Amino acid sequence: MFSKACEYGIKSTIYIAEQSIDGKRVSIKEVTKAINSPEAYTSKILQQLKKNEIISSDKGPGGGFSIDNITMEKITLKDIVYSFDGDKIYKGCGLGLNQCNAVRPCPVHHEFAIIRDGLTRLLEETTIKSLALQLQGGLSFLKA
Amino acid sequence: MFSKACEYGIKSTIYIAEQSIDGKRVSIKEVTKAINSPEAYTSKILQQLKKNEIISSDKGPGGGFSIDNITMEKITLKDIVYSFDGDKIYKGCGLGLNQCNAVRPCPVHHEFAIIRDGLTRLLEETTIKSLALQLQGGLSFLKA
DNA sequence: TTATTAGGGGACAATATTGTCCATTATTAT
DNA sequence: ATAATAATGGACAATATTGTCCCCTAATAA
């Protein structure tokens, strides 16, 4: 579904948001521990998230990553997915045709349109804050 | 969504089925022309489909690939997807957790369950024959 | 101003996926 | 039998993705 990079990106963001709600900044090490991911690679992911203005970072002692409250309410899964995998998941053709639409559909176009629309809505409507709150409440988990 | 191999696999199978309805066997060249795919790679894909008993092949002049009527009614998209990408698309966790279920869900588990169930049903219920007939009727297309 | 802390970023390595090349085998028709 | 046809299969190459290493920069505190 999503690339590994995107999965790490989503998990990192949710974890950082959860900690930010408690006013805590987190280091790369803490993130990788929380989501069970390779440290150096996760570092790249976090850089990418910062470039896309999804998270903030501060260098030096007491520094780390954080998300302010307004941002975590505004940013949705779609923003993160778009940052890593682009829009092909919810816009692209299921069979990879360059042009595929209702007028000239691929064999699975109509069937997939329903799934894709559902996915798009889900990604658009799910905010990071809502996911962070669930995590904080012990209703969900970031690692197995 | 699906791997390139899987996309080629689905398209190839639909095309071969469409031609088989007319009693025609098709060569690799014809398949690659119909679905606009690299020839040698598609050859591997067709071998894989044969190994999984989704299509049949015959060597020599007049040979080629085909699917008998009973098989194209029985085989669904799920069978093909499973052959190339396994079941992670409709069974795996959206965030890549090894264990993710209703009791110990990842942050997007419940939201994704609905999408995944829809996808699973779609893949299970869509037969190759139904897709081949749509193609034959000019209602869908295999290349852009 | 210096040691320490923590993110930034470039180069590189491992792996998976996608794609190519070429020789071989099986089948059919002449 | 032989030539032509068409799939089979192994080795290899290109590319994308994932992951690592190591040094640099910025910020803070002593």
The larger pLDDT score, comparing residue A144 to residue B10, is at B10
**Is residue B65's beta carbon less than 7 angstroms from any atom in nucleic acid strand D?**
yes
Q: pLDDT value at position A127?
A: 98
Degrees to nearest 5, angle at CA B90 with B87 and B96: 85
From the CA of A3 to the C1' of D19: give the distance in Å: 14
- Euclidean distance between CA atoms A112 and A93, whole angstroms: 9
| Amino acid identity, position B21 | I
Q: What is the mean pLDDT of residues A5-19?
A: 98
Q: What is the mean pLDDT of residues A106-118?
A: 96
B66: β partners? B56
Q: What is the mean pLDDT of residues B62-80?
A: 98
The beta strand positions in chain B, using DSSP E, are: 56-58, 64-66
- Tell me which chain A residue has its CA closest to the CA of residue B1: A1
The pLDDT-based confidence of B61 (bands split at 50, 70, 90) is very high
Q: pLDDT value at position A22?
A: 97
Window 16-75 of B: residues touching A by CB (8 A cutoff) are none
Using an 8 Å CB-CB cutoff, list chain A residues near B122.
111-112, 115
Identity of the residue in A105, A106, A140 whose CB atom sits nearest the CB atom of B105: A140
Q: pLDDT value at position B96?
A: 96
- Give the global pTM: 0.96
CB B40 within 8 A of CB B96: no
Identity of the residue in B105, B114, B144 whose CB atom sits nearest the CB atom of A100: B144
Q: pLDDT value at position B25?
A: 98
Q: What is the DSSP letter of B127?
A: B
The pLDDT-based confidence of B57 (bands split at 50, 70, 90) is very high
**Is residue B63's beta carbon less than 7 angstroms from any atom in nucleic acid strand D?**
yes
* Percentage above 90 pLDDT, chain A: 99
Q: What is the mean pLDDT of residues B85-114?
A: 96
- Cβ-7 Å neighbors of strand C: A 26-29, 40, 43-44, 46-47, 50, 57-65; B 3-5, 8, 37-41, 43-44, 58-63
Q: pLDDT value at position A6?
A: 98
**Is residue B137's beta carbon less than 7 angstroms from any atom in nucleic acid strand D?**
no
Q: What is the mean pLDDT of residues A76-102?
A: 97
Nucleotides of strand D within 7 Å of the protein's CB atoms: 4-10, 17-22, 25-29
Contact B7 A95 (CB under 8 A): yes
Q: What is the DSSP letter of A139?
A: S
Using an 8 Å CB-CB cutoff, list chain B residues near A101.
none
- The chain-wide mean pLDDT, for chain A, equals 97
- Euclidean distance between CA atoms B7 and B13, whole angstroms: 10
The pLDDT-based confidence of B56 (bands split at 50, 70, 90) is very high
The pLDDT-based confidence of A133 (bands split at 50, 70, 90) is very high
**Residue B29: in which H helix or E strand, if any?**
helix B28-35
Q: pLDDT value at position B80?
A: 98
Q: What is the mean pLDDT of residues A38-45?
A: 98
- The chain-wide mean pLDDT, for chain B, equals 97
Q: How many Cβ contacts (< 8 angstroms) between chains A and B? A: 98
Extents of the domains making up chain B:
4-136
The pLDDT-based confidence of B24 (bands split at 50, 70, 90) is very high
CA B100 to chain centre: 27
CATH, range B4-136: 1.10.10.10
Contact A142 B107 (CB under 8 A): yes
Q: pLDDT value at position B58?
A: 98
From the CA of A17 to the C1' of D28: give the distance in Å: 24
- Tell me which chain B residue has its CA closest to the CA of residue A133: B107
